[in-house]
Amino acid sequence: MSDLRELYQEVILDHNKSPRNFREMDDPSRTSEGVNPLCGDRIKVFVKLGEDGGIEDISFQGSGCAISKASASLMSSAVKGKSREEAEALFHRFQKLVTASLDALPDVEGLGKLAVFAGVREFPTRVKCAVLSWHALNAALRGDEQPVSTE
Amino acid sequence: MSPTTRVEPGKRSEPAGAGFDAERVRADFPILSTTVHGKPLVFLDSAATTQKPRAVIERVDRYYRSENANIHRGVYALSETSTREYEEARHKVRAFLNARDEHEIVFVRGTTEGLNLIASCVGRSRIRRGDEVVISHMEHHSNIVPWQMICEERGAKLRVIPMNDRGELLLDEYEKLLGPKTRVVSVVHQSNALGTVNPVGEMCKLAREAGALFVIDGAQSAAHGPIDVQEIDCDFYVISSHKIYGPTGAGAVYGRRELLEELPPYQGGGDMIRTVTFEKTTYAPPPAKFEAGTPNIVGAIAMGTAIDYLAGVDRAAVARHEADLLRLATDAVSSLPGVRVIGAAREKSSVLSFVLGDVHPHDVGTILDQDGVAVRTGHHCAQPVMQFFGVPATVRASFAMYNTREDVDALVRSLERVIQIFS
């Protein structure tokens, strides 16, 4: 039970139920879709870039499990207003967090609410769900319009 | 619900009721006494692959310890033993499907390869531009894609038998699809995503009247009831070893003898030839013509052992037992809040597919796994079925002879926990 509560924390359940920035964007600068062909999850990320190249606005649409939906929601809140470099750095930190060894305490310094995903480490089959939207964001920032796949 | 005690492997309890004792069968499957996350394994994914009885596991071990040699080649004792055992397995598969003779049994890697073999060999020799191939809406991808590929290659058209909201094929519509252009009808005997059992005998008769070949994907059905290809009167019937308690990587195609003789080979290579020169090769008669290369020898042999194992249980009693479990599970799971059962065919066996409110099946699967309950979650390689019912995925619990009422209880308890977490 403790492991499960670690995975399905209140914050994740809340963002699954009422995802933030869950809408289509009228005039995005970039969009990209993340697809997990094994489970059929689809997350489309919309990004509006500011004049300085930073993420002025971000939203997402799609369907998926609680982990992928909550991750997209929390990601959108975390990167809004950030520069491209800051967003990419967060992506790498996040990837490290969800794939880190269980032997040591996870490094959550500066990750804010994203730290709730540390529990995903215990569930290797669910790591792809957690990183799906981040891969889509990464592709959107690179200007890659092809859907990105977790496979 | 009557409490039953778990029996330790090796110990035997007396048969209880209905002439079938699941506990006794359980004792034959070593993996069923293991634990997952510290909980006893509750294996409800036998539609994906069944667990293996000790006899099968030991047969694989014995083959590699004392019988391993390539078949159909050596003149030494070991090779003769290996060849004899492999061909003996063919006899067992013949009897299992009630085919007329063993030349009608081709060993393959599994149902997927079997269906690809049929689509390829029939397609290249009998399907021409403008012809039609009929499949159904509830097919597994392995009975869709090979036909789609051959239709594209040959300029033929793929037509699909529709189904109703219960997940039953519309036979009137099927009849309308049949015509002079229909070359092949290929349908699943039992749907892996819905559990629907199709009336293949009746459907075969209609296909024959239209002059079409009739192919049956028997991956799911073979574990749950006796198969009689002569009674069905089909042209092909395909099964997988690993879904009938045998090893993975083995399976068989039944093909009517005169058809197998007429069809071109599948793959080229060793074992499938009579003579080879650079100018011309002549082929071996069936089944060798379709078995190029060194096959999964031990897979076929241990598939035979699995068939022996099935012959040792009362299959009518197994069918009743599995039907009881399905009924019990359907009643209990449907009474949980927010559950929608996918597939309510009147003829249905051993599969319970459902969604739980707006909780995604993968979240359900992860939580169930923590309780030791193994179910399949996803699209079950049947995306058109998911599209038809408007769901991205389902949770699927499937039953085999070794499942018990306690397994159903564990499933329901774990689902209640999912509801609690997501409420």
**What integer pLDDT is reported at residue A138 of this predicted model?**
94
Sign of the CA dihedral A107, A109, A111, A117?
A: positive
For chain A, give the mean pLDDT. 90
Q: Which residue spans within B72-221 are E strands per DSSP?
A: 105-108, 132-136, 157-161, 182-188, 213-217
Contact B314, B20 (CB under 8 A): yes
Q: Which residues of A touch B393 (CB under 8 A)?
A: 39-40
Sign of the CA dihedral B284, B288, B289, B292?
A: negative
Q: Which residues of A touch B367 (CB under 8 A)?
A: 4, 8
Q: Does B421 touch chain A (CB under 8 A)?
A: yes
Does the pLDDT value for residue B195 go beyond 50? yes
CB pairs under 8 A between A and B: 47
Contact B338, B381 (CB under 8 A): no
For residue B287, is the peptide bond before it cis, meaning its omega torsion is within 30 degrees of 0?
yes
- Torsion of Cα atoms, B289 then B290 then B296 then B302, to 10°: -90
pLDDT in tens, A61-88: 998 999 999 999 999 999 999 999 999 9
Q: Place A1 in a pLDDT band, splitting at 50, 70 and 90.
A: very low
pLDDT in tens, B208-265: 999 999 999 999 999 998 999 999 999 999 999 999 999 999 999 999 999 999 999 9
> Helix (H, G, I), strand (E, B), or coil: what is residue B282?
strand
For chain B, give the mean pLDDT. 94
Does the pLDDT value for residue A95 go beyond 50? yes
The beta-carbon neighbor of B421 closest among A8, A65, A126 is: A8
Percent of chain A with pLDDT over 90: 68
Does the pLDDT value for residue B6 go beyond 80? no
Question: Which residues are B237's β-sheet partners?
Answer: B216, B254
Taking only residues 361 to 380 of chain B, the set having a beta carbon closer than 8 angstroms to any beta carbon of chain A reads: 361-363, 366-367, 370, 377-379
Mean local confidence (pLDDT), B123-137: 98
CB contact under 8 A, A64 and B366: no
**What integer pLDDT is reported at residue B19 of this predicted model?**
64
Cβ-based neighbours of A72, under 8 Å, separated by 6 or more: A19, A43, A45, A60, A62, A64, A132, A133
Contact B94, B237 (CB under 8 A): no
The bridge status of strand B182-188 relative to strand B213-217 is parallel
- How far is the C-alpha of A107 from the C-alpha of B7, rounded, in Å? 46
Write out the two tokens for B153: 């290659």
A108–chain B nearest CA distance, Å: 24
Contact B129, B157 (CB under 8 A): no
Does the pLDDT value for residue B8 go beyond 80? no
What positions of B carry a catalytic annotation? 381
Of A145-149, B182-186, B403-407, minimum mean pLDDT range = A145-149
> Helix (H, G, I), strand (E, B), or coil: what is residue B264?
coil
- Could you give the strand order of the β-sheet that contains B182-188, starting from the edge strand earlier in sequence? B105-108, B251-255, B236-240, B213-217, B182-188, B132-136, B157-161
**What integer pLDDT is reported at residue A149 of this predicted model?**
76
A26–chain B nearest CA distance, Å: 26
Q: Does A124 touch chain B (CB under 8 A)?
A: no
Sign of the CA dihedral B313, B319, B323, B326?
A: positive
pTM for this model (two decimals): 0.92
CB contact under 8 A, B362 and A65: yes
CB contact under 8 A, A126 and B366: yes
**What integer pLDDT is reported at residue A41 of this predicted model?**
85
The CA R_g of chain A, rounded to the nearest whole Å, is 14
Contact A15, B423 (CB under 8 A): no
Pick the closest to residue B262 from B207, B211, B213 (CA basis). Answer: B213
Q: Which residue of B has its CA nearest to A9?
A: B421
Report ipTM (2 d.p.).
0.88
- Could you give the strand order of the β-sheet that contains B394-398, starting from the edge strand earlier in sequence? B339-342, B351-356, B394-398, B376-378
Contact A15, A64 (CB under 8 A): no
- How far is the C-alpha of B233 from the C-alpha of B7, rounded, in Å? 42
Mean local confidence (pLDDT), A41-60: 94
Pick the closest to residue B263 from B123, B79, B153, B54 (CA basis). Answer: B123
Does the pLDDT value for residue B160 go beyond 70? yes
Query: How far does Cα B318 stand from its chain's mean position?
Result: 17
* B299 class by beta-carbon count within 10 Å (0-12 exposed, 13-18 middle, 19+ buried): buried
CB contact under 8 A, B393 and A125: no
**What integer pLDDT is reported at residue B17 of this predicted model?**
43
